[in-house]
Amino acid sequence: MFVIGLALLILSAIVLLVATWQDKTIGTTAKLVATLVVVVANFSMTRASITAIGPFNCICSLVVVGALAAFYALALICGGTRPYWTLMVLVVTSGLIASFSFGSGFAVWPTLLILGWSARLSWRTLGLILAAGIVAVITYGVLPGAAPEITPENAISLGTALRRFCSLLGTPFLYAAAAWSSPALSPAAAQSSNIPFVCGTLGLGLAAGAVMPRLVRRDLGTSKLQFMALALTVFNFVAMGFIVIGRTAHMHASPGEVVAPRYMFWSSLFWAGLFLIFVQNVDSKKWARWPTFSALSALPLLIFPEHYQAAAWGRHVHLIMESAATSLINGVCDTDMVAQMYPTPATVYSLAKQYRQRRLDMFADGLQDWIGVSETNLFGGHYKSVELKGSIAVQSLVRCANGAPAARVTGWAIERETSIPKQLILVNASGKVCGLARPTEIRTNINGQYKLPKFATSGFLGYIRDYNPQTPYFVRSADDKRLSRETLRVTSSVPMAASN
């Protein structure tokens, strides 16, 4: 899922970059600045709330790819490219893909109509787009549970809706500014800050200034970059409006939802569109060219603290997920770990059974099949010296899914003082594999001692099934289709009652 989402994210950037470098109305410097804006907007970790999670990134990036494909095809129609009907089919098909990937994707239809009107396209073309949009809306409306339900008690005034809308648009500036301060921004401080509203209001005004003249004069010019930039701005502008409407009840119950980081997936693209419009407009104006280009070139520096903190947060969340997955692979009910992944562990265990049967997600590699077999049956009994070093100890007692006792083990391991094993097997004295351990913790002391990367996961979490405190257990690394000749003795601790 993550790879597919990343591919879609890259594809969306490619579409924008193609439009940028095909534009003959701007110079090379402007194209380079526009490229920087596209790359920063698409790949900044400020969007990690969506882009770091495979399924979310897939559906949201598919919306963007579908929308950009529709806009690009419409730009070709505006430029007189033939064949007309082939391009119209691409416009409608891409619009439908964007619409049914995620609810925000329905913003593609108003955007296409605005672009078509401004480009003076024929009534036939506008009618086809309108008809396709109506069919998409009707189809979506009859789907069970598709349309948001807004009850009278959740109704809001126009002023409240406008304030929420502006706050959503300005959220990227709040987190960018907060990343430069210490301590970290609390949810209460984020909710009470006026930065999102002020910056969002500014963005609203700039968007109106960029779009309204084109809409009134019905003139989009010949610049393909400007066409795509306007499309990106309008699309995300409308999408944010849909979010305000669709999430009314949730924002009413949780006011902090207005500045939730996940909405920066859309608002960052809104600002990217505005910045691309600036690049195209100022390239021919000497007095504004270099100040604008210099300011936009400083974007990576301005958002670097936020980018770094978001990356660290993403790494931390990933390791929490890996810890929970390790317990599931071992068939152990460690609710302390699973609860960090999802508030109701029972739901996770129910889904884990289905995933195990279908060999999905953490079960896809088949590591769970190693448990219970002799180590000599793994990799054809191939052993290799890797200078395994480390320390593994029993941390606490838990239970297997079948109720049998199990032990949670933690520690660290390293090979040849330079690399970290992908996984460890835990075996008893007879060589039977009793459990697995995987790297799930950043141990700064070990990383510093062995000069490993700062965020290297040298700390391991694992489990021993059917644990017996009187039985000695050992650890081997299991990488590259071989087992380590060296073993580490699992240190026993005082037996405790199972924690769950």
Q: At what angle do helices 84-101 and 108-118 cross, to 10 degrees?
A: 150
CB 5 within 8 A of CB 54: yes
The first and second tokens of residue 341, run together, are 């992944």
- The Cα 112–Cα 130 span in angstroms is 9
pLDDT band at 413 (very low <50, low <70, confident <90, very high): very high
Which residues are CB-contacts of 190 (< 8 A; sequence separation ≥ 6)?
174, 178, 256, 259
d(CA 80, CA 73): 11
- The reply to whether 277 and 357 lie within a common domain is no
Taking only the tens place, the pLDDT of each residue in 173-192 is 998 888 887 666 666 777 77
Does residue 414 share a domain with residue 352? yes
Going by C-alpha positions, the residue among 374, 364, 389, 420 that lies closest to residue 486 is: 389
Whether 451 is covered by a domain: the verdict is: yes
Residue 496 lies in a domain: no
- Does residue 472 share a domain with residue 335? yes
Q: Which pLDDT value is given to residue 79?
A: 86
More confident residue, 378 or 256: 378
CA dist list (Å): 433 to 180, 247, 373, 402, 413: 49, 49, 6, 18, 18
Mark whether 277 and 356 lie in a shared domain.
Answer: no
Q: Is the pLDDT of residue 410 over 90?
A: yes
H-type helices in 254-334, by residue range?
264-282, 286-297, 299-329
More confident residue, 357 or 54: 357
**Tally of domains within the chain:** 2
Judge whether 497 lies within some domain: no
User: SS3 helix, strand, coil % of the chain, rounded to 5?
Assistant: 65, 15, 25
477 φ, ψ (degrees, to nearest 5): -80, 150
Statement to judge: residues 324 and 293 lie in one domain? no
Percent of the chain with pLDDT over 90: 61
Mean pLDDT of the region 450-471: 91
pTM: 0.82
Q: What does the pLDDT read at residue 494?
A: 47
Tens of pLDDT, residues 470-486: 999 999 999 888 999 99
- Residue 34 located in a structural domain: yes
Write the pLDDT tens digit of every residue in 111-159: 999 999 999 999 999 999 999 999 999 998 888 765 556 666 667 788 8
Q: What is the pLDDT of residue 169?
A: 94
Helix (H) or strand (E) holding 464: strand 459-465
| Domain presence at residue 84 | yes
Q: Which domain holds residue 480?
A: 318-491
Looking at the fold, whether 232 and 163 belong to one and the same domain comes out as: yes
Same domain assignment for residues 292 and 342: no
Q: Within a domain: residue 313?
A: no
